[in-house]
């Protein structure tokens, strides 16, 4: 895997060979259960504190690294995109190796900071689907735009 901290080489459950960061520390143990709970409440609009809960979700993401399933062939990087509405796609990311192994075993796991993932959005990509083979969360631009600087140059 590529280390989200320095771009060096890191293996599952080992430290990065370049900067020494531990694998678990790099992933920040993102709380998918908490994220899912917050997302569900936001999606169902059943909370009086919906802005607070959306802000908490944004903070969880901003302070986390996620795994991007990728195919690397001939020095080219291919990322998994899932279909959405209006021919817009969602980039698949996962929170941990258990989620990665549910559907992406044949691909390469690349760890990325949230900011690096945001940089992948372009005019054909609506947002992200987190843990698509588990209890997934869809985060579209309507959620992302108020909290993050999203590249909207081509939109």
Write the pLDDT tens digit of every residue in 65-81. Answer: 889 999 988 878 899 99
CA angle 80, 67, 24 (to 5 degrees): 165
Query: What are residue 92's DSSP bridge partners?
Result: 129
State the maximum Cα–Cα separation within the chain, in Å, rounded to a whole number: 51
Spatial contact of 53 and 47, defined as CB atoms under 8 Å apart: yes
Domain boundaries, the chain: 30-144
Average pLDDT over residues 72-92: 86
Look-up of token digits 């895997």: 1
Rounded Cα distance between 93 and 117, Å, is 9
Going by the DSSP 8-state scheme, the letter that residue 132 receives in this structure is T
| pLDDT band of 154, cuts 50, 70, 90 | very low
Find which of 20-24, 28-32, 56-60, 103-107 is predicted with most confidence, using mean pLDDT. 103-107
How many angstroms separate the Cα of 45 from the Cα of each of 53, 54, 61, 146? Answer: 11, 11, 20, 17
pTM of the predicted model as reported, rounded to 2 decimal places: 0.71
Which of 13-22, 35-44, 132-141 bottoms out in mean pLDDT, i.e. has the lowest? 35-44
Tokens of 50: 């919906």
């Amino acid at each position: 895997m590529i280390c989200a901290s320095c771009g060096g080489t890191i293996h599952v459950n080992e430290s990065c060979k370049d900067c020494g960061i531990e694998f678990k520390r790099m992933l920040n143990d993102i709380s998918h259960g908490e994220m899912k709970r917050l997302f569900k409440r936001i999606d169902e609009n059943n909370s009086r504190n919906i802005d607070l809960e959306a802000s908490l979700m944004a903070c969880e993401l901003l302070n986390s690294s996620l795994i991007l399933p990728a195919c690397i062939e001939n020095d080219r990087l291919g990322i998994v995109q899932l279909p959405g509405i209006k021919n817009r796609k969602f980039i698949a990311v996962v929170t941990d190796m258990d989620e990665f192994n549910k559907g992406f075993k044949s691909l390469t796991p690349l760890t990325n900071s949230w900011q690096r993932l945001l940089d992948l959005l372009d005019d054909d990509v609506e947002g992200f689907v987190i843990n698509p083979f588990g209890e997934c969360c869809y985060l579209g631009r309507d959620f992302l735009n108020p909290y993050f600087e999203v590249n909207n140059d081509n939109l």
